[in-house]
Amino acid sequence: MISPSGTSGLPLHSAWRVVVKLIMIDLKQKIEKEIRTVDKRIKQAATERDESASSMESQHDQTRQIANQLFNSLLEEKKKLMELKGETAKYHSVYTMLNTVDGSVKKYFIVPNGLGGTEEDGVTLLSEKTPLAKNLLGKITGNEFEINGQKLRIKKIEENI
């Protein structure tokens, strides 16, 4: 941001001059990072499973069984992430929202379920299954709605390029 006097020192009538910044959240890269994390966890679960006592060695130790369940669960998670990687084209809009009660402004990018809940470059990644994401889909700039007692207005919709 630039101060109210602008770069030339001339007043801008107390308005802030904003430098336009292209929004770029690489969803494929984020999914690939998640896949790498899951791969590490798969290796850890496999090691734990393989080094645990078998049912023949210990009738009461369930470590091997639990590690195997975790291993299979992680394989399923990786499969879902791989499928999501091919579907990223449908996630492209960044919504700038104005809270009409307190005047706060936030940016949201709707992402596949399971990738939300974090923030990147000042943009909150919002899982598509959340109530807010469901309210945003199909709306246009200027639309207003209320959710969780907050009155919100879509100030701007930008393309994630």
Q: Give pTM, 2 decimals.
A: 0.60
User: What share of the chain has pLDDT > 70, as a percent?
Assistant: 77
Q: Name which residue leads in pLDDT, 18 or 156.
A: 156
How high is the pLDDT of residue 19? Answer: 33
User: If you ran DSSP here, which 8-state letter would residue 95 be given?
Assistant: E
* CA–CA dist 125, 118 (Å, integer): 6
R_g over Cα of the chain: 23
Burial 4-32 (b: 16+ CB within 10 A, else e): eeeeeeeeeeeeeeeeeeebebebeebbe
Q: Give tens-digit pLDDT for 9-65.
A: 444 333 333 333 445 567 778 888 888 999 999 999 999 888 876 666 666 668 888
The angle formed by the CA atoms of residues 139, 145 and 150, to the nearest 5 degrees, is 135
Pairing of strands 123-127, 105-111: parallel
> At which residue do the structure tokens 């639990």 appear?
66
5 pLDDT higher than 50 = no
Helices (H) and strands (E) in the chain, counts: 3, 6
How high is the pLDDT of residue 14? Answer: 38
User: What share of the chain has pLDDT > 90, as a percent?
Assistant: 28
Mean pLDDT (whole number) for 102-110: 92
1 pLDDT higher than 70 = no
Q: Name which residue leads in pLDDT, 8 or 151.
A: 151
